[in-house]
C-alpha cells in the first residue's frame, strides 16, 4: 500500500473530464508524474459544437480544440493518445494499455465517457452516429439541400442534428418512439413546445413511431423501416438513441460497474481511484440520489472535484453539484438547472410558451428540484438556480416569479 501523497497519477480519457482533472492536479500543486491516456488520436476537443457549429460548417474542426499545444505542454503531462486503456487491477494499482504497456499508479481518474447505442452494426455507408469528431465531419460532408436525412431518436442529440440539417437545407424526418418529443426528460409541455418549433422549421416529425430497422442496398443505407411496415427513404440515417458507458475495459478490475463506474459521494470508486464525467455514477448528496450525468459542465466540475479529492483525501469534499445543461436548436436556446427527469410535476411559472419565452419549474415531492428556461435572460435564471440549491419548498417557489 502506498501512503502519503500520490507520486504517479494516471488519468484515463482525454476529453472534457480528463482534461479538467489533469489541469486541476497541476493547479492544486501536484508535481509528480502525470499521464493522460486517450483512445482518440486527437488532443482534447469539445463535443457540444459537433452537433452545432461543426455540423453546420460554421466552425472548422480545429476550433473545437479545448487547449492549444502550449497550454498542454505547460502541464508537463505525458500524453498517451490513440491507445485505449485495456485493463485495470485496482488491487495491484496497475493499468494496462492496449499496446501492452503497463502503468503503475498511486492515483487514477477514470474519465472514459460513453459511446452511442446502435440500432445496427456500423459498416453500412450512410448510417451514422454522432459522438466523435470523425462522425461529425463525415455527416457534415453528406448534408446539403435536397438530401434526405432520417434521424432516429428525438432526444437532445437527435433534435440538434435535425436543426443543423434543416439549416443546411436537407429534408429531415425525425422519428421518436414516445408520444411527445423529449417528454421523458423535460415534461409534456416543454416537449410539445419543442415539437412545434421543429415542425415550423420544416421537420417531418413522427412521434409515437417505432422503428423496426434500417434498410440498405449494396452496403449503403436506403431508408428506415417502421414497425407498421412503412419505409422512410433516406440518403443518410442518424441514430441518436442513447449511450452506453465505456466500462468494458474495467471488467475484472475490482471496481463496481453498473451503468457507469459506481462511486461514492466523493466520486471515489476504490482507494486512490476516482471517476468523473459521463462515465461516473455517483451519489449526489444534494438530491440524495445516485446519478450519472451526460452534460458538458458536469464533466468539468466532476473532473475538478475528483482531482482535488484524490490529491487531498483527508479534506475530501462531497461532489454535490446542481446539474446544468444547455441546448441550441435553430435560434432557440434551452437552459436548465437541477433534476428534471422523473419529477412529479412541471409548471410554467414565468412567461408563456406561445410567445417562445418561458420558465418551467419542476418538483419532486414538495421540493423544487429543477428549472428550465427558453428565451429567458440568464440573470432571471440565476435566481432560480439558487432556489434549487436551497432545496426551496414547492409552494414557496411558486410565489417567486
Partner 1 sequence: MRVEVEQPKCVASGQCVLAAPDVFDQDDEGIVEMLTDRPGADRYEDVKEAAALCPAAAIRLVSE
- Residues of the shown chain interacting with ligand FAD in the complex, contacts defined by CB under 6 A: 12-18, 37-40, 47-48, 50-51, 84-85, 111-114, 130-131, 157, 246, 249, 277-278, 294-296, 299, 325-327
Instruction: Report the distance separating Cα 379 and Cα 376, nearest Å.
Output: 8
- First-to-last C-alpha distance (Å) of the chain: 55
The site partner of 249 among ligand FAD, partner 1, none (C-beta below 5 to 8 Å per kind) is ligand FAD
Closest contact distance (angstroms) between CB of 300 and partner 1 is 5
Cβ proximity of 265 and 283 under 8 Å: yes
Cβ proximity of 130 and 136 under 8 Å: yes
Closest contact distance (angstroms) between CB of 269 and ligand FAD is 14
Residue 130 or 183 having the CB closest to ligand FAD: 130
Residue 67 or 147 having the CB closest to partner 1: 67
Residue 194 or 397 having the CB closest to ligand FAD: 194
Instruction: Report the distance separating Cα 206 and Cα 380, nearest Å.
Output: 34
Closest contact distance (angstroms) between CB of 44 and ligand FAD is 8
Interface residues with partner 1 (CB under 8 A) are: 16, 20, 23-24, 27, 46, 48, 63, 65-67, 296-297, 300-301, 304, 324, 326, 328, 333, 335, 377-379, 381-382
Instruction: Report the distance separating Cα 332 and Cα 232, nearest Å.
Output: 28
Residue 27 or 220 having the CB closest to partner 1: 27
Supply 131's cell numbers.
459522438
Work out whether the CA dihedral 216, 206, 341, 52 comes out positive or negative: positive
Instruction: Report the distance separating Cα 255 and Cα 161, nearest Å.
Output: 35
**Among candidates 200, 298, 271, 297, which has minimal Cα distance to 281?**
298
Residue 223 or 370 having the CB closest to ligand FAD: 370
Closest contact distance (angstroms) between CB of 347 and ligand FAD is 24
> What is the DSSP-derived secondary structure letter of residue 314?
G
Using CA atoms, how far residue 202 sits from 163, 189, 243, in Å, is 10, 20, 27
Closest contact distance (angstroms) between CB of 295 and partner 1 is 9
The site partner of 190 among ligand FAD, partner 1, none (C-beta below 5 to 8 Å per kind) is none
Query: Does an H or E element contain 212, and which?
Result: strand 211-217
Closest contact distance (angstroms) between CB of 293 and ligand FAD is 7
Residue 60 or 121 having the CB closest to partner 1: 60
Residue 307 or 397 having the CB closest to ligand FAD: 307
Supply 247's cell numbers.
466500462
Closest contact distance (angstroms) between CB of 76 and partner 1 is 17
Amino acid at each position: 500500500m502506498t501512503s502519503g501523497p500520490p507520486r504517479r497519477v494516471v488519468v484515463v480519457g482525454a476529453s472534457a473530464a480528463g482534461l479538467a482533472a489533469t489541469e486541476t492536479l497541476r493547479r492544486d500543486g501536484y508535481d509528480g508524474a502525470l499521464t493522460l491516456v486517450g483512445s482518440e488520436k486527437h488532443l482534447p476537443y469539445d463535443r457540444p459544437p459537433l452537433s452545432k457549429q461543426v455540423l453546420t460548417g460554421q466552425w472548422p474542426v480545429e476550433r473545437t480544440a479545448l487547449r492549444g499545444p502550449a497550454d498542454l505542454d505547460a502541464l508537463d503531462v505525458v500524453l498517451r493518445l490513440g491507445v485505449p486503456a485495456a485493463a485495470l487491477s485496482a488491487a495491484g494499482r496497475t493499468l494496462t494499455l492496449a499496446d501492452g504497456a503497463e502503468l503503475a499508479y498511486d492515483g487514477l481518474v477514470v474519465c472514459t465517457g460513453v459511446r452511442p447505442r446502435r440500432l445496427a452494426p456500423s459498416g453500412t455507408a450512410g448510417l451514422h452516429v454522432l459522438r466523435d469528431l470523425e462522425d461529425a465531419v463525415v455527416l457534415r460532408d453528406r448534408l446539403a439541400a435536397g438530401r434526405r436525412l432520417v434521424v432516429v431518436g428525438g432526444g437532445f442529440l437527435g433534435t440538434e442534428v435535425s436543426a443543423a440539417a434543416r439549416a443546411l437545407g436537407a429534408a429531415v424526418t425525425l422519428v421518436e418512439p414516445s408520444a411527445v418529443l423529449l417528454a421523458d426528460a423535460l415534461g409534456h409541455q416543454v416537449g410539445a413546445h419543442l415539437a412545434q418549433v421543429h415542425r415550423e422549421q420544416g421537420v417531418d416529425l413522427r412521434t409515437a413511431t417505432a422503428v423496426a430497422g434500417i434498410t440498405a442496398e449494396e452496403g449503403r443505407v436506403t431508408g428506415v423501416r417502421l414497425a407498421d411496415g412503412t419505409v422512410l427513404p433516406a440518403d443518410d440515417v442518424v441514430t441518436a438513441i442513447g449511450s452506453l458507458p465505456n466500462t468494458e475495459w474495467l471488467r475484472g478490475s475490482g471496481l463496481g460497474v453498473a451503468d457507469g463506474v459506481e462511486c461514492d459521494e466523493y466520486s471515489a470508486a476504490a482507494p486512490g481511484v476516482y471517476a468523473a464525467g459521463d462515465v461516473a455514477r455517483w451519489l449526489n448528496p444534494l438530491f440524495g440520489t445516485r446519478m450519472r450525468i451526460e452534460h458538458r459542465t458536469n464533466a468539468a466540475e466532476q473532473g475538478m472535484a475528483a482531482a482535488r479529492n484524490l490529491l487531498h483525501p483527508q479534506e475530501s469534499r462531497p461532489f454535490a453539484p446542481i446539474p446544468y445543461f444547455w441546448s441550441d436548436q435553430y435560434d432557440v436556446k434551452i437552459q436548465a438547472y437541477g433534476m428534471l427527469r422523473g419529477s412529479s410535476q412541471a409548471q410554467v411559472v414565468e412567461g408563456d410558451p406561445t410567445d417562445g419565452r418561458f420558465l418551467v419549474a419542476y418538483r419532486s415531492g414538495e421540493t423544487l428540484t429543477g428549472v428550465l428556461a427558453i428565451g429567458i435572460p440568464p440573470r432571471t435564471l440565476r435566481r432560480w438556480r439558487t432556489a434549487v440549491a436551497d432545496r426551496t419548498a414547492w409552494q414557496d417557489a411558486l410565489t417567486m416569479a
